Amino acid sequence: MMLAMPLDGVRILDFTWVVAGPVATRILADHGAEVIKVERKEPPQLGNRKLGLQCDLNRGKLSVALNMQHPRGVELARRLAAKSDVVMDNFSARVMRSWGMDYESLAAVKPDIICISMSGLGHTGPRSSYVSYGPTLQALTGFTMLMAEADGTPAGYGYSYADTCGGYTGALAALIALWNRHRTGRGQFVDLSQFEAVTSVIGPALLDISANGRTQPAPGYNSQEGPAAPHGVYKCRPLDGDDDRWVAIAVRTGPEWRRFVTAIGSPSWASDPQFRTLYLRMHNSAELDANVSRWTAEHSAEDAMAILQRAGIAAGVVENGIDLCARDPQLKERGFWPAVATGRGTTTNVTGIPFKLSGGSGKVRSIAPEVGENFDYVLGELLGLGRAQRDELVAAGAVWP
Catalytic residues: 163
**Which residue type sits at 267?**
P
Helices 134-141 and 161-184, packing angle to 10 deg: 90
Asked whether 171 and 30 are in contact (CB, 8 A), the reply is no
**Which residue type sits at 140?**
L
C-alpha torsion angle, residues 169, 174, 175, 180 (rounded to 10): 130
Closest CA to 343 of 370, 305, 364: 370
Distance CA 162, CA 224 (A): 20
At residue 15's C-alpha, the angle toward residues 12 and 19, to 5°, is: 100
Asked whether 57 and 205 are in contact (CB, 8 A), the reply is no
| Cα torsion 310, 312, 315, 316: sign | positive
In sequence order, what are the beta bridge partners of 191? 117
For residue 50, the SS3 value is coil
* Helix ranges, 113-203 (H): 134-141, 143-146, 161-184, 194-199
At residue 324's C-alpha, the angle toward residues 322 and 325, to 5°, is: 65
For the chain, what's the residue count? Answer: 401
Distance CA 314, CA 231 (A): 10
Asked whether 12 and 85 are in contact (CB, 8 A), the reply is yes
DSSP class of residue 351?
-
Residues 6+ apart with CB under 8 A from 380: 386, 387, 390
Maximal CA-CA distance, the chain:
87
Asked whether 35 and 29 are in contact (CB, 8 A), the reply is yes
